[in-house]
A = this chain, B = another copy of it.
Amino acid sequence: MSLKYAVLGLLMESPHSGYEIKQEIERMMGDLWPISYGQLYPTLKKLADESWVTWKTLQGKKAKDKNVYSITPEGVQNFRRWLGKEKKRIHHSIKDEFTLSFFFLDMMEREKAEKLLLKKYEETKEYYEKCMSEHKKCGNGTPFYRRVLTKKMLLHVEAEKQWLEEVIREYSTS
């Protein structure tokens, strides 16, 4: 996914430095979208080249100087255009290496396959518990987006967990 609009959206609220942008997006996404500086700084540079953002350097009392980025009117316009646009449907729930390996499960020794399945199940269950406790923490004070995304994670991880249960049952009796 393009980092561009996540950055612009954040700058719609207030100016941020590169470092802060990384922290902020990762926090918002519940650490599900790790941002690398190797992607972030070039992105900010490109946005600046296109005049969608500007930046100024603040002399740092602490650490190095800070480049603080702000969105420009042009950036705002482009962000709004993106926001109002219909987004493509993407169901990437099966586009990952683990799922791909299911096509070739019969090429694995049974024991090995079962071990991998169970391991993945344990991992998923654990993650499900984490999502559930996140979800329970959401009260009235929690912003809408946060509540909604926490719920989304919970439902999808639940689906994944349920799927793995069925797969393991089917596989072990086949």
| Chain A: interface size category | 35 or more
Q: Does A162 contact B (CB under 8 A)?
A: yes
Q: How many copies does the complex hold?
A: 2
Of B29, B80, B88, B107, which is within 8 A of A97 by CB? B88
Q: Given A94-B29, A174-B144, does the pair A89, B123 have CB atoms closer than 8 Å?
A: yes
Interface of A is mostly: helix
Q: Given A83-B104, A88-B97, A112-B84, does the pair A148, B167 have CB atoms closer than 8 Å?
A: yes
Q: Does A119 contact B (CB under 8 A)?
A: yes
- Are the CB atoms of A160 and B156 closer together than 8 Å? yes
Complex Cα distance, B107 from A80, in Å, reads: 8
A42 to chain B, nearest CB (A): 19
Q: Given A107-B12, A108-B84, does the pair A99, B152 have CB atoms closer than 8 Å?
A: yes
Q: Does A58 contact B (CB under 8 A)?
A: no
Q: Does A102 contact B (CB under 8 A)?
A: yes
